[in-house]
Structure 1
């Protein structure tokens, strides 16, 4: 076998080679067909091989593919920022473009800290976050991430620890049930602010629906309204990390719109470029930007490829395509249907502990014993096994974390492109059911 010089997730792993993609399908060099049930890493939201996007990228490349943000602006970047201001709720009007969700999260952190400097309150520097969260793999973003499996190798180098409980109703950390719980998990933010001192807190960051670290943990009604009220009470900015959830994935442009809550800064990625070109953004409100305009006029952040016109042209074409085909609305319809079908499978496959999420962002938590929600022992790698079996069946799933904090637990995410049809959904379910039958046999033998 020919030697590879490419570092893989498992350094010398032999992975199949993909030849091309069309819609919700990928095709290997060996001819095998894969149904992309996770949109890659919940990224390829409009599917593969969309001609409108590649044509827009080609046209931009013929004009100019790079300008440095300190020297020039570009029509593509300006148009993308304008389109986002049109699409996003409230006064979220100011876009800072970067290359990845991790960079966007760190840019949002810097915006929040500098906002308070511009306001004459420089002691407000801490960023609060939740356990069961993931904000990126760079050191700053990882410091905010309540994802023990990804933190463990770098613990001594991380600047902070998450301090707020996650809205994990299936395994409530307070042993309560909604609504009698009175949203104790949301009130935990107030406890954290008071313990650390509001004079030291710049912002609170949260994924509206927890992605990789919680397999689509979806807070109950009233949760983010309570979070917003607490942030306002203590002069703390609220950052919504919508890297995985944003741009139509949950049935709305932003997942936070499922609640009556407007963030001060939004972090975008993944679905913004839909896998066609690397791009992400930190989008700030008029409120956040006003002190900068009246003060230093500088946000101390930036990258060589920030505002890259090639990526901006791709993202703009993606957003126009989503508008044209009403993909957020389609995600809501298809997601409801897919969730219903998956829940109908639970009696046949009791290892499916909970099906949760919104739109086409669906998490499945696995349990070894459905009666007491006992998770699979970590050493069995049950989630990885389910993903492996699905892959053999030509279905791509996304591995996720769930279960008992710091211990056992497995989950997967199903998040196909928003373009998926009812017939393609039926095929996804067929392949997933076949996978579940095989997983049940593995569980019995184990």
Structure 2
């Protein structure tokens, strides 16, 4: 389609049918079963304001997922728009390949100040998957430079999602996300996650289960050989599978295990950083200091793409002397416009006390969602901060889950569309067991909590009645 034709077709407001037809014809959407839109329109979001979004037909929805765990400060923030425009007018682009620019310098300084411990070096990427890729490559090279060249393997957790680049995908623990792209990067191994609801051991004792889950990572390191393992990658609250929070003491034990084996602990905070749990970095909430920390999404509230790997002084030291350097980078890493938007976004966090807002209201959010326990389909409500998963079951007494065909009919055949049609954008997924995930903008309060609960109650009740 030529530029004039395109302009003529979409210049006069939003024509939903034209947009949908063009999307089906040309736009390959991510993680999307494209055949599903052969006979139904493509949902097209055209506007956002606060915690709400609107589609091309003018219908409003509550954004219960902050876009994709991203829009922390809410939609339509003119401060962020203006920061982007101002920076683009001064310096729209320059790479960080042997050069610096003021916004990247300022943002790196600010992140280092906010981060715990000696996480003082900041390597910018354009997203979380690239940050994970960076951390694994850096861990491999660090051990080669320090005389331990066999340490290259990583341990991550079952069902965990860490991104889609080949290295990050190898760390990811979701079989269906990996199977089409094998062989993957060798050396990535999996251990137990912290799903207490389906604990294979110590299901009646949360702290004992936490010790067991951490010790499973210890056993995985021992099995592979500590002299071959470079790093352990974990999310503070594991996203995939439906928001698994860490049991008390879990991260303290994991930190000790990594120290014992000289293995780097990488905190993947792509989702959990920047207020999602009520702290700038989630490791602070759970009381541990990693050797590296990966982050992205909420750093700009989604107004411009950016990611980062924060690295401890100890890990960075070999790269800051002699002729050694890190032969790795991204054209758009630390983009001036994205860095300027991130700085403005962090200003909003400070001025509006968004972290404190989450900490003040997280209990009310949990309590509101826990009202759903009276529904026979709701087996578990779990999470932290403004990040929750609701696991759906066939039998609450036995925790019996749905088989593959039932899950397909429940999630993709009914729930995803029904929740959206009812006015709630969220996520119904079965990476593990069937769950509904919620991660709304950090600006919401009890009124929106009640709206979320009301929509979920009506739709989940209908889903149960259809079984």
User: What band does the TM-score fall into relative to the shorter chain?
Assistant: over 0.9
Q: Equivalents in 1 of 2:214, 2:411: separation in Å?
A: 29
Alignment partner of 2:388 out of 353, 362, 369? 362
How does 1:146-165 map onto structure 2 within 5 Å? 146-165=173-192
Query: Are the equivalent residues in 2 in contact too, given 1:92–1:265 (CA < 8 A)?
Result: yes
What residue ranges of structure 1 are gaps of 5+ in the alignment?
404-408
Alignment partner of 1:32 out of 56, 59, 69? 59
Q: Equivalents in 2 of 1:230, 1:265: separation in Å?
A: 16
Q: Equivalents in 2 of 1:302, 1:251: separation in Å?
A: 31
Q: Equivalents in 1 of 2:204, 2:142: separation in Å?
A: 38
SS for the counterpart of 1:431 is: helix
Query: Are the equivalent residues in 1 in contact too, given 2:368–2:450 (CA < 8 A)?
Result: no
Show CA shifts across 1:386-407 (max 9, x none). Answer: 232110111011234454xxxx
Q: 1:160 to 1:71 in 2, by over 3 A?
A: closer
1:28 deviates by: 1.3
Q: Equivalents in 2 of 1:163, 1:345: separation in Å?
A: 33
Equivalent position of 1:183 in the other structure? 211
Q: Equivalents in 2 of 1:417, 1:426: separation in Å?
A: 15
Q: Which moved further from structure 2: 3-12 or 125-134?
A: 3-12
How does 1:87-126 map onto structure 2 within 5 Å? 87-126=114-153
Q: 1:401 to 1:252 in 2, by over 3 A?
A: farther
Equivalent position of 1:442 in the other structure? 466
Q: Equivalents in 2 of 1:140, 1:161: separation in Å?
A: 9
1:182 deviates by: 6.5
Q: Equivalents in 1 of 2:188, 2:141: separation in Å?
A: 21
Show CA shifts across 1:319-363 (max 9, x none). Answer: 11111111112122222211111112211x121111111100011
Equivalent position of 1:256 in the other structure? 283
- The runs of at least 4 consecutive aligned structure 1 residues that moved more than 4 Å come to none
Show CA shifts across 1:79-117 (max 9, x none). Answer: 111111121111111111111111010001111111112
Equivalent position of 2:225 in the other structure? 197
Alignment partner of 1:10 out of 33, 50, 57? 33
Query: Are the equivalent residues in 2 in contact too, given 1:126–1:201 (CA < 8 A)?
Result: yes
Q: Which moved further from structure 2: 173-182 or 292-301?
A: 173-182
SS for the counterpart of 2:142 is: helix
Query: Are the equivalent residues in 2 in contact too, given 1:100–1:279 (CA < 8 A)?
Result: yes
Tell me if 1:391 matches 2:412: no
1:288 deviates by: 1.3
SS for the counterpart of 2:399 is: coil
Q: Equivalents in 2 of 1:33, 1:64: separation in Å?
A: 36
1:377 deviates by: 1.6
Alignment partner of 2:195 out of 164, 168, 180? 168
Equivalent position of 1:225 in the other structure? 252
Q: Equivalents in 1 of 2:221, 2:43: separation in Å?
A: 48
Q: Equivalents in 2 of 1:419, 1:191: separation in Å?
A: 42
Show CA shifts across 1:122-156 (max 9, x none). Answer: 11111111112110011110101111221122233
Query: Are the equivalent residues in 1 in contact too, given 2:365–2:446 (CA < 8 A)?
Result: no
Equivalent position of 2:88 in the other structure? 61
SS for the counterpart of 2:151 is: coil
Show CA shifts across 1:155-210 (max 9, x none). Answer: 33353443211111111133543234471111011111112111111111111110
SS for the counterpart of 1:439 is: helix
Q: Equivalents in 1 of 2:173, 2:282: separation in Å?
A: 20
Equivalent position of 1:139 in the other structure? 166
How does 1:238-387 map onto structure 2 within 5 Å? 238-347=265-374, 349-380=375-406, 381=408, 382-384=410-412, 385-387=414-416
Query: Are the equivalent residues in 1 in contact too, given 2:152–2:230 (CA < 8 A)?
Result: yes
Query: Are the equivalent residues in 1 in contact too, given 2:193–2:213 (CA < 8 A)?
Result: yes
1:120 deviates by: 1.8
Q: Equivalents in 1 of 2:290, 2:213: separation in Å?
A: 19
1:251 deviates by: 1.3
Q: Equivalents in 1 of 2:168, 2:418: separation in Å?
A: 32
TM-score, normalised to structure 2's length?
A: 0.90
Query: Are the equivalent residues in 2 in contact too, given 1:389–1:439 (CA < 8 A)?
Result: no
What residue ranges of structure 2 are gaps of 5+ in the alignment?
1-16
Q: How many residues align?
A: 436
Alignment partner of 1:424 out of 423, 439, 448? 448
Equivalent position of 2:437 in the other structure? 413
1:26 deviates by: 0.5
Considering only aligned residues, what root-mean-square deviation do their CA atoms show, in Å?
1.7
1:311 deviates by: 0.9
Query: Are the equivalent residues in 2 in contact too, given 1:104–1:268 (CA < 8 A)?
Result: yes
